[in-house]
């Protein structure tokens, strides 16, 4: 799942990048002698900001310089793939969207003896392939309910699909929609899978035996739920152009009363509207209860690294500083203790909502398959087609054939 950083972080990241250019120079000749490591991060992300902010301290503590290679999300996968195929060691450490782990598993150094007791729910599972833990979690995100608490009393906060639809209808006015529907891009896929979790999906896209399961009733129900809300007068008519960013803009501009959006949008909404107007709650539940698909990132040591010992020290160091992702960047993290401590601070109420959502029995990671990017494109088409009026069951049947042809 692609994480988008709030605007205020961009300035900090740029400043950090300029500082990194001064205090974290690249000395290629030191490679392999304990002198430096190169870390791949997503440009403009919390990873880049924190890598810049901690590089000098890590060098002071270990004597190792940190070279930060910031690349746009869309280019990270290709860059890693190219260097791995060429047998190069351009990066000692790489920050990875967990859906890439399957593709790069053979090129990642497994982490042995890690204490995973503080990993948030689902993070050990989603970071492990064939019994090998492939990285330390950086953060995980899920969608939660974000709502106007000045309009919705606590005893009316919806917990189920039916309650959510009814309240959206009740809240609609000439100037405000009740809710939004994500119908654009990968956010649409995540919403579809969220609702499939809630409707009882057992394994997302693939069942436990590896069979494509998107024609199961849970997926039919999930898409019908999305279509019903998109067609209702309580949601904007342009759902096909709506994703997390657009929904958040509508919410913070007072045009939407509630939304099911990524948890990091909550602090931004509070900043825009005020704590007296914004509340949050765990994700809503369907027939199978609360559930959501998760979006974790991991920091991994590459097998081709000529400085593996220091690379491992670095990922351990960053895991020890996991609270900085919560406190200094996007208000999300990867450790249970960080979420629990953060929940005690006013303005971080979303952290308890995330913990409750992550701990729900139906919460599941996206499938960890090499071909996920292709599969995801098929699912984008499924949601867009159905929101555009296509028959749900026919569309899912055709998509199942496509995904089976793509393979894993």
Which residue range is the domain that position 151 belongs to?
143-291+351-406
Q: What is the pLDDT of residue 17?
A: 38
Residue 1 has pLDDT above 70, yes or no: no
CA dihedral for 30, 35, 37, 38, sign (positive or negative): negative
Cβ contact 244:187 at 8 Å: yes
Shared domain for 327 and 203, answered yes or no, is: no
Average of per-residue pLDDT across 384-403? 98
Domain CATH for 157: 3.40.190.10
Could you tell me which residue, 12 or 107, shows the higher pLDDT?
A: 107
Shared domain for 136 and 148, answered yes or no, is: no
Shared domain for 182 and 246, answered yes or no, is: yes
Q: What is the pLDDT of residue 13?
A: 39
Q: Is 154 exposed, middle or buried (0-12, 13-18, 19+ CB in 10 A)?
A: exposed
Q: What is the overall mean pLDDT for the chain?
A: 91
Residue 300 has pLDDT above 60, yes or no: yes
What is the DSSP secondary structure assignment for residue 338, as one 8-state letter?
H
- The pTM for the full model equals 0.85
Average of per-residue pLDDT across 198-219? 97
Q: Per DSSP, which regions of 44-105 are E strands?
A: 65-71, 93-97
Spatial separation of the C-alpha atoms in residues 308 and 66, rounded to whole Å: 13
Shared domain for 278 and 179, answered yes or no, is: yes
Q: What is the pLDDT of residue 330?
A: 79
Shared domain for 313 and 377, answered yes or no, is: no
pLDDT band at 88; cut points 50, 70, 90: confident
Could you tell me which residue, 6 or 191, shows the higher pLDDT?
A: 191
> Which region holds residue 210: left if phi is over 0, alpha if psi is between -120 and 50, else beta?
left
**Weakest-pLDDT range from 13-17, 64-68, 313-317, 397-401:** 13-17
Residue 379 has pLDDT above 90, yes or no: yes
Residue 340 has pLDDT above 60, yes or no: yes
Shared domain for 267 and 305, answered yes or no, is: no
pLDDT band at 89; cut points 50, 70, 90: confident
- Residue 344 covered by a domain: no
Number of domains in the chain: 2
pLDDT band at 112; cut points 50, 70, 90: very high
Residue 65 has pLDDT above 60, yes or no: yes
What separation, in Å, do the N-terminal and C-terminal C-alpha atoms of the chain show?
18
Shared domain for 30 and 47, answered yes or no, is: yes
The string of pLDDT tens digits covering residues 10-52 is: 333 333 433 333 333 333 334 434 599 999 999 988 899 999 9
- Residue 269 covered by a domain: yes
Shared domain for 192 and 88, answered yes or no, is: no
Q: What is the pLDDT of residue 259?
A: 98
Q: Which of 9-13, 280-284, 345-349, 365-369 has the highest mean pLDDT?
A: 280-284
Shared domain for 121 and 147, answered yes or no, is: no
Shared domain for 148 and 129, answered yes or no, is: no
Q: What is the pLDDT of residue 34?
A: 56
Shared domain for 22 and 170, answered yes or no, is: no
């Amino acid at each position: 799942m692609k994480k988008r950083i709030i605007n205020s972080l961009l300035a900090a990241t740029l400043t950090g990048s300029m500082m990194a250019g001064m205090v974290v120079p690249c000395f290629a000749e030191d490679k392999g002698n304990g002198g430096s490591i190169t870390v791949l991060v997503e440009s403009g992300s919390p990873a880049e900001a924190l890598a810049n902010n901690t590089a000098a301290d890590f060098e002071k503590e270990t004597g190792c310089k940190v070279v930060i290679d910031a690349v746009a999300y869309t280019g990270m996968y290709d860059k890693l793939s190219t260097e791995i195929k060429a047998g190069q060691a351009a990066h000692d450490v790489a920050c990875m969207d967990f859906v890439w782990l399957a593709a790069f598993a053979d090129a990642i150094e497994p982490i042995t003896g890690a204490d995973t007791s503080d990993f948030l729910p689902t993070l050990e599972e989603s970071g492990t392939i064939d019994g090998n833990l492939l990285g330390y979690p950086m953060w995980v995100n899920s969608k939660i309910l974000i709502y106007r608490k000045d309009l919705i009393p606590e005893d009316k906060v919806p917990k189920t699909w039916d309650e959510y639809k009814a309240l959206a209808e009740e809240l609609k006015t000439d100037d405000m929609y009740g809710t939004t529907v994500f119908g654009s891009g990968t956010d649409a896929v995540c919403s579809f899978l969220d609702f499939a979790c809630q409707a009882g999906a057992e394994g997302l896209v693939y069942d436990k035996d590896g069979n494509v399961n998107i024609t199961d009733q849970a997926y039919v129900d999930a898409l019908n739920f999305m279509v019903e809300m998109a067609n209702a007068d309580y949601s904007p008519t342009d759902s096909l152009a709506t994703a997390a960013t657009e929904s958040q803009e509508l919410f913070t501009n007072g045009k939407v009363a509630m939304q099911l959006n990524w948890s990091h949008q909550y602090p931004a909404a509070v900043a825009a509207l005020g704590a007296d107007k914004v509340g949050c709650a765990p994700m809503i539940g369907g027939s199978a209860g609360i559930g959501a698909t998760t979006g974790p990132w991991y920091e991994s040591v590459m097998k081709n690294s000529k400085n593996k010992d220091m690379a491992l020290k670095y990922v351990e160091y960053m895991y020890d500083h996991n609270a900085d992702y919560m406190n200094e960047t996007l208000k999300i993290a990867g450790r249970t203790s960080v979420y629990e401590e953060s929940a005690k601070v006013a303005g971080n109420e979303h952290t308890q909502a995330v913990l409750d959502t992550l701990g729900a029995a139906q919460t599941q990671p996206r499938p960890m398959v090499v071909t996920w990017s292709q599969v995801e494109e098929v699912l984008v088409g499924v949601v867009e087609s159905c929101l555009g009026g296509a028959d749900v069951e026919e569309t899912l049947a055709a998509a199942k054939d496509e995904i089976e042809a793509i393979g894993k």
